[in-house]
A and B are shown apart, each in its own frame.
Chain A
Amino acid sequence: MRRKATLATLAGALTLVAGTAAAQTELTMWYHGAGNEVESRIINQIVDDFNASQSDWKVVIESFPQLSYNDSVVAAALAGNLPDILDVDGPVMPNWAWSGYLQPLPIDESVIADFLPGTKGYWDGELYSVGLWDAAVALYARRSTLEELGLRTPTLEEPWTGEEFMAALDAAKASGKYEYAFDPGMAWTGEWYPYAFSPFLQSFGGDIVDRSTYQTADGVLNGDAAIAFGEWWQSLFAEGYAPGTSQDPADRDAGFIDGRYAFQWNGNWAAVATLEKVDDLVFLPAPDFGNGPKIGAASWQFGVSATSEHPEGAAAFIEFALQDKYLAAFSDGIGLIPATPSAAAMTKNYKEGGPLAVFFDLSKEQALVRPVTPGYVVAAKVFEKALADIANGADVADTLDAAVDEIDADIQRNNGYGH
């Protein structure tokens, strides 16, 4: 692998020398992976390979820390300083497209025909972004825990029902062996809340906004299904099944591995690290609370900024990056789900019989994208606060009503967000 990399760099250097006559046009690109060494290495490799593969374009990458990436992009957009190629979190994309930061992605859609649905970003009928990977969430457990507690192992075809799930938590709680039966991950504030927890609400039959019109949350976020969800959610914390909003992020990282939590709701990006420390780790599908088991979809994707003067160059790079070998490299490097079955077959974790292959199926079977609307950015914040408040004992119906009012007011103030 290293040898190959050196060769590629060498080839790149040669092309550079050769290409000085027909100068490459510079394209700037922003990426959210600063501080993540593996991710940076792979993306830099792709950029180097691309620059070496042709003589028209030269991509220059600037990496940002993920935590503040969106703030950086919004600020740069306000100041009129966007790069040519941007990476964008799937659910945020409609907001940026609607605001005029992004332009439709000029690539042939046949290229992405066999990509997982969560990796394609459509807004207003047009493709704006494509992801090299998707992410999925599963219920982490130990096989030994399931055996000791005498629990049926749920499958994709036959997941746990809501009752079975609660019975499992009861059994874990009654065993007295765990600090908490279930770790939903309350320490991960921010996008984790809507990403990881809104699928529970959807499985109950509610949603963050009414997807038929995207003009209101009334009835879906405070209807009977949502209130049932809210009461269940509150009971997790009130009855001591789960650590609440004050959970230490370090406990979130180590609690399940240390055996202090029986079950953990976690993403596939944590799977490789957890597998190293927990040898009988199993990934269980989401429980079905009545409307089918659901998990979130869509992760980081690439798009072209509206101000780019060379969209064709930007698109050329994105298309180049969509090769199976890069999809597989990202997956091997950071545990993400490769966007295509053919790339999955090339990876060590997602190939048939691989330890994480189950996530590929989860992503295909259960995944539901977050509401595709520019208003999602605000609705997600409101939803996050509502869930934190309910977990802390706020009145369920009042809290959800207030969330609905805030989301509706926001939609109105934005003239319906262009739907």
Chain B
Amino acid sequence: MASINPANHGLRLAVRYAVLSIIAVVFLFPLVFMIMSSFKPDLQLLQDTGSLRAFLPVGDLSFENYREAFERAPVWTFVKNSIIVTGLTVALSLFFCSLAAFSFAFLNWHGRDTVLAVILATLIVPFETIAIPLLLLVSKLPWLGMDGIEWGWLNTYRVQIIPWVADGLTIFLFVQYFKDLPHELVEAARVEGASWWQIYSRVVMPLAGPVLATAAILKFLVMYNQYLWPLIVVQEESYRPVMVGLQYFFQLNTAWGEVMAYLTLITVPVLIFYLALQRAFIASIASTGVKG
């Protein structure tokens, strides 16, 4: 790093950008294909798939596919349901999982390591394996509603939310992150007489920005892409989420343009969520300069 030659520096910068851009193309091309296709009539879409035209806004472009997608299925209902279910689950999950992780990372109690080990072991259970037993369970659970106790959770939002609130991976993410935080902070607060709740909410969580963002994104993706679970616990259209809605588009002789339009539509909320979080994510990294 002795003397910086401006010309050399410029060249290196160009190379860096070139490498970054080539990789960017690799990651982007299927999505560009999806978006471009959503504006093309079926026949042209299919003819274009083999060539570079697939990525270009060429030919007969229109919003026809979008219009027809809305006619075929109640797209907004699906998107709304997914956002409600995903949003609530993410919020509840961040709270309950960080709370548990706080306990595992900072507190000493009898049975702690065993409980943590059991929770981590549940990471291994693929959801597909427990779907049927879980279905039998939730179909009989009680709920305190407006008119007293109701039995069975089918065809509700809660059945799509509550079973997904706590999971081993989110707890694990928080635990790993908390372990890296300086324990002196916690102990100092304890010496000053702060309660555990105060330490959790005032000392630890303000430092948890990056892990909150990571856990939120992960949970968001899992929840937004739910398919099997809502399929078996929701029979009413008014509660169906986006991935179940995708099935509306696979008829015999699938209208691929509409499929692409629908896929584009349901991907937008995720991108917005990610963009919003990315800002928070970066800001929080800047604020945790204490670490190291």
Q: Point out residues on A near B: beta carbons under 8 Å.
A: 30, 34-37, 62-68, 71-72, 75-76, 78-81, 188, 249-251, 253-254, 267, 269-270, 273
Assess whether A81 is in contact with B139, with CB atoms less than 8 Å apart. Answer: yes
B62 contacts partner chain A, Cβ-Cβ < 8 Å: no
A62 contact set on B, CB distance < 8 A: 235-237
Query: Per a CB cutoff under 8 Å, which of A35, A75, A253 touches B72?
Result: A35
B244 contact set on A, CB distance < 8 A: 65, 68
Given A72-B231, A75-B135, A76-B154, 9 more contacts at CB 8 Å?
A30-B235, A36-B251, A37-B72, A65-B244, A65-B248, A81-B152, A253-B46, A253-B253, A254-B46
What separation, in Å, do the CA atoms of A65 and B248 have in the docked complex? 5
What separation, in Å, do the CA atoms of A59 and B46 have in the docked complex? 41
Assess whether B256 is in contact with A35, with CB atoms less than 8 Å apart. Answer: no
Q: Nearest chain B CB to A281's CB is how many angstroms away?
A: 15
B49 contact set on A, CB distance < 8 A: 250
A78 contact set on B, CB distance < 8 A: 132, 135-136, 139
What separation, in Å, do the CA atoms of A30 and B252 have in the docked complex? 20
Assess whether A37 is in contact with B256, with CB atoms less than 8 Å apart. Answer: no
Hey, what's the 0/1 contact readout for B226-239 against A, CB within 8 Å counting as 1?
00000111011100
Assess whether A67 is in contact with B250, with CB atoms less than 8 Å apart. Answer: yes
What separation, in Å, do the CA atoms of A253 and B47 have in the docked complex? 12
What separation, in Å, do the CA atoms of A76 and B251 have in the docked complex? 23
What separation, in Å, do the CA atoms of A78 and B233 have in the docked complex? 11
Assess whether B46 is in contact with A249, with CB atoms less than 8 Å apart. Answer: no
| CB<8 Å pairs between A and B, sample of 9 | A34-B248, A35-B73, A35-B251, A37-B71, A72-B231, A79-B232, A250-B254, A253-B253, A267-B252
Assess whether B251 is in contact with A254, with CB atoms less than 8 Å apart. Answer: no
Query: Per a CB cutoff under 8 Å, which of A34, A188, A254, A267 touches B73?
Result: A34
What separation, in Å, do the CA atoms of A75 and B228 have in the docked complex? 11
What separation, in Å, do the CA atoms of A71 and B236 have in the docked complex? 14
Assess whether B254 is in contact with A67, with CB atoms less than 8 Å apart. Answer: no
B249 contacts partner chain A, Cβ-Cβ < 8 Å: yes
B118 contact set on A, CB distance < 8 A: none
A71 contact set on B, CB distance < 8 A: 231-232
List 7 A-B pairs, minimum CB-CB distance, nearest first: A35-B248, A65-B247, A75-B232, A79-B139, A67-B247, A250-B46, A65-B248
What separation, in Å, do the CA atoms of A267 and B248 have in the docked complex? 20
Taking each of A35, A62, A249, A250, which has the highest tally of chain B beta carbons within 10 Å of its own beta carbon? A35
B154 contact set on A, CB distance < 8 A: 76, 79, 81
